[in-house]
Chain A
Amino acid sequence: MTITEKILAAHAGREVVEPGELIEVKLDLLLGNDITAPLAIAEFQKTGAQKVFDPEKVVLIPDHFTPNKDIKSAEQAKILRDFARQQNLHHYYEVGRVGIEHAFLPEQGLVLPGDCVIGADSHTCTYGALGAFSTGVGSTDLAAAMITGETWLKVPATIKVIYYGKLNRWVSSKDLILHLIGDIGVDGALYKTLEFTGETITNLSVDARLTMANMAIEAGAKNGIFPVDEITIEYVQKRAKRDYKVYASDKDAQYYDVREYDVGTLEPQVAFPPLPENVRPVSAASEISLDQVVIGSCTNGRIEDLRIAAEILRGRQVSSNIRLIVIPATQAIYLQALREGLIEIFITAGAAVSTPTCGPCLGGHMGVLAKGERALATTNRNFVGRMGHPESEVYLASPAVAAASAVLGRIVSPVELGL
């Protein structure tokens, strides 16, 4: 069996599961945010249910329109707050302590290897980086699971992705996942698991792996997952407050497909609008001028991302045509960046630094685009209207490309800065 099949079997109380089977699984953690949880809470209340199945396992994170951008979003966030208090939820975090959910949960040790997690947010697949099964669902699924602690799932077949080769300078895990999505398309892994393996992967940090698992959904996958190794264990050991279990794919596990990529000569990648599959090497994008650059989100708002951006921006200035917005994904990352002097580098370079929020990633607030404007972002989606006006454009790339592009005002690799 694959790692995903083993985790699902264990949570279904079964020895074996096979792709295509419909199973019911017990959940270790459930997640909702300020967009999806209000609907879930309404559904929960409609059933007459009094209590969530376990107040330790239901996590509510106000991160999308927070700090509240208007009265309506304030009302939404209040629904979470009131419910969390009424249900005595252990894991509700308020503005000032919270962060973007998919950066925050791993950082706080709330998700651990071997867990089975659902979240009413499509990027819940991020936690696969830790060797957990995690997938996005809708609000009604969340409501039902808050009552029962279980959910139904179809066991996905697994596509194994093997990367080998040593990455060039300025090439990151973001480029690996964009390259894959460019190859297989936005439905290339529909209903399937992406299992990321290979020597290139074994050298990646947990931060870098989280970026890749995060974008599994952008290929339509149910989940993306990594083998657990020493790097994973080192990351979770100092964070875990409960036991966890490590699963690994068998040598003779059955795969739906195996795809191999030699990434030794890969250039930084850029996804052109309006789909994450429109991927080209950065050298094919250098004619594209920009109005805004965003460094942040659950994809690339972690400390390593900020370090790379700061390395490029140190001693340089953001182009006078560009608005650079930097958003550390959590309070802990923000503080760490402050201590390391990264925030000072950003501000000196001419960037706006924001408190943790999803903000511009979904065109919510804190950097919405006007008609005809063009942004490059380290986020995960470049759909029509994603960051604002339907006639604005979003290009996706790594923090390195984002920082360099902010300096030159067009899409470039840091190599063009002589780095």
Chain B
Amino acid sequence: MAEKSLQGKVWQFGDDINTDLIVPARYLNTSDPQELATHCMEDVDPEFTKKIARGDIIVAGKNFGCGSSREHAPLAIKSAGIACVIAKSFARIFFRNAINIGLPILESQDAIEEIVTGNVVKIDLAAGKIYDLTTGKTYRATQFPPFMEQLIAAGGLMEWIKQKKMHNTVDCQ
């Protein structure tokens, strides 16, 4: 993942935010990331993309990204300038897709109970720490398994595949 330390304003969402809310299917006749970005979260909050600034952070409840397999969803979030998504849990295909395309995501049980829209949060991805600069509180994110750390460190799945093909050394176990 690109930067190790991120800081931005929080936008809070509830549970079960599905991929149709993140980017409605009516816009999937394109795969242009910039165009997708303009519809990010449109059906939850039509003004969302106008309100956010590059580097902002989404905080959400359980099962974020449930629904379809569309990679357009994490792509739209990433291209809209959102630096990271913190959720209580992620739907599994969204989870894979985010890691594969290098959108930083973190799972944290307690952070999402307390961090609300407008708070400013700093994230240390390497240490898996979330600092709420508004309240002064610190939270720990769930650690990724080592294999996923490799994927993330490689810069996503395609980079990992390239490296693996070249060296044939990366082990999945």
A residues with a Cβ closer than 8 A to B are: 21-24, 35-36, 38-39, 42-43, 46-47, 64-65, 69-70, 72-73, 76, 119-122, 124, 136-141, 143-144, 147-148, 152, 186-187, 190-191, 220, 222, 275, 362-364, 368, 381, 383-386, 388, 390
Contacts and interface: CB of A to CB of B under 8 A. Distances in A.
A43 B24 contact: no
B46 to A, nearest CB: 8
Interface in B115-162: 145, 147, 156-158, 161-162
Contact of B161 (A124, A147, A220, A386): A147
Given A36-B70, A220-B91, A384 B16 contact: no
Given A24-B172, A390-B43, A381 B100 contact: no
A363 to B, nearest CB: 5
B169 interface: no
A360 to B, nearest CB: 10
B16 A187 contact: yes
Contacts of A386: 20, 25
22 contacts: A22-B147, A35-B28, A35-B31, A39-B71, A46-B158, A70-B29, A72-B29, A138-B74, A140-B157, A141-B96, A141-B100, A143-B157, A144-B100, A186-B66, A190-B89, A222-B92, A363-B25, A364-B28, A381-B20, A383-B20, A383-B67, A388-B26
A43 B66 contact: no
Interface string B72-91: 10110000000000000101
Contact of B93 (A43, A136, A187): A136
Interface of B: 16, 18, 20-21, 24-26, 28-31, 42-44, 62-63, 66-72, 74-75, 89, 91-93, 96-97, 100-101, 145, 147, 156-158, 161-162, 165, 172-173
B69 A152 contact: no
Contacts of A363: 24-26
Contacts of B30: 72, 76
Given A69-B29, A383-B67, 4 more contacts: A35-B25, A137-B69, A187-B62, A381-B67
Contacts of B165: 147-148
Interface centre among B24, B30, B62, B69 (most CB of A within 10 A): B69
Nearest to A385: B43
A43 to B, nearest CB: 6
A60 to B, nearest CB: 15
A190 B63 contact: yes
Contacts of B20: 362, 381, 383-386
A137 B96 contact: yes
A371 B21 CA distance: 16
Given A43-B158, A364-B25, A38 B93 contact: no
Contacts of A119: 69
A122 B24 contact: no
A220 B158 contact: no
Contacts of B21: 383-385
Given A36-B69, A47-B161, A186-B63, A385 B24 contact: yes
B161 A36 contact: no
A278 B172 CA distance: 39
Given A35-B28, A384-B20, A140 B71 contact: yes
Contact of A65 (B29, B70, B75): B29
Contacts of B16: 186-187, 275
A187 B91 contact: yes
Contacts of B25: 35, 362-364, 386
The 9 A-B residue pairs with the shortest CB-CB distance, nearest first, are A138-B97, A140-B100, A362-B25, A187-B63, A138-B71, A72-B29, A73-B29, A122-B69, A383-B20
